[in-house]
Amino acid sequence: MKPVKKAVIPAAGFGTRFLPATKSIPKEMLPVVDKPVIQYIIEEAVASGVDEIVLITGANKRAIEDHFDSSFELEHLLQQGGKTELLEEVRRISDMARLVYVRQKKMLGNGHAVLCAKDVVADDEPFVVLWGDDFIDANPPRVQQLKDAHARTKGSVLSVIRTRNPEDADRYGFVDGEEVEPGLVKVRRIVEKPGAGNAPSDLAVVSGCLLNPGIMASLEAIPPGKGGEIWLVDAINHLLQSQDVYALEIRNGRYYDCGNKLEYLKANIDFGLRRPEIAPGLLEYMEQIITNRTPET
């Protein structure tokens, strides 16, 4: 089997949870501090040895292509202004990986979006699937952790986190399986959005996975599911009939669901506090808010 060198990122959705902003701005381009969400995701993949990114896009997603393309006019302006650091950053963005764009003409589910990459991913090639509006900030990078688990098990590997929040049972799929080593579960099935009290474990499938090539055949074999669409979780459950699938609890990481307004704001605060030029003023402002909200005693 070939090494894992490709990542498929579905980024064709309308981003309705962030309307009206996403009426004209792709949700993947919403900034965390000063960097679009999707850039964090691609940088994680590149840091883990992935060198080709397959972006599944749709209408009104041109801004994503423009962001990762070179811009002669902007580079010239920065060079003339002596803004060397910004110039290097702009050039780095356009050179970090080979990007391939595939248009998903109809929104027929996230599984259909992955299937759109079939002609770009070789038949014997495992690949990573990452979503365009969430990521896990981890050390080592989450994608590298998935690759390491894949090298040991030879099976597909799902990215999971532990959660006992009842609300998450209506947001994510949960793993039913047997732990074969600390933090690694051999999956029997995934129960999608089981509802509070019905999850088979506290392991929620979030933010991507590493899939063996057989997933494409499963995506083609399954009938349309909820809403008449093709869902990746259904294809993974189908794949389990013939191949091993594992769930890896990501170590030393923090999950950011930037498609959720509250979590998006938390991501901006967390990453803002890492920036030495922003952190002091941000902390001072947060302290002022807390002080003003504290009742007088």
CA gap 281, 238 in Å, rounded? 51
What's the distance, Cα to Cα, between the start and end of the chain in Å? Answer: 67
Q: Using pLDDT thresholds of 50, 70 and 90, give the confidence band for residue 292.
A: confident
- Whether residue 293 is predicted with pLDDT greater than 80 in this model: the reply is no
Q: According to the model, what pLDDT value does residue 181 have?
A: 93
Tell me which architecture the domain covering 6-259 has in CATH: Alpha-Beta Complex (3.90)
- Arithmetic mean of pLDDT over the chain: 93
Q: Where are the alpha helices (DSSP H) in 57-197?
A: 62-68, 72-80, 84-95, 110-115, 142-153
pTM for the whole structure? 0.92
pLDDT (0 to 100) of residue 44: 96
Residue 293, number of CB atoms within 10 A of its CB? 7
Assigned token pair, 51: 């060198």
Residue in the block written with tokens 């989450």: 142
Q: Count of CB atoms within 10 A of residue 218's CB?
A: 22
What pLDDT, in 10s, does the model give residues 109-138?
Answer: 999 999 999 999 988 899 999 999 999 999
Mean pLDDT of 244-256: 96
Q: What is the pLDDT of residues 56-97, one digit of tens each?
A: 998 888 999 999 998 889 989 998 899 999 999 999 998 989
pLDDT band at 28; cut points 50, 70, 90: very high
Q: What is the pLDDT of residue 297?
A: 42
The domain segmentation of the chain, as residue ranges, is 6-259, 261-297
Q: What is the pLDDT of residue 64?
A: 94
Cα–Cα distance measured from residue 167 to residue 260, given in angstroms and rounded to the nearest whole number: 13
- Rounded to 5°, the CA angle 49-116-14 comes to 95
- Only one residue has tokens 């799929």, namely 173
pLDDT of residue 296: 56
Task: Check residue 60 and give its pLDDT.
Answer: 83
Distance between CA atoms of residues 168 and 204, nearest Å: 8
How far, in Å, CA of 25 to CA of 37, rounded?
A: 12
In this prediction, residues 164-193 reach a mean pLDDT of 94
Residue 71's pLDDT is what? 87
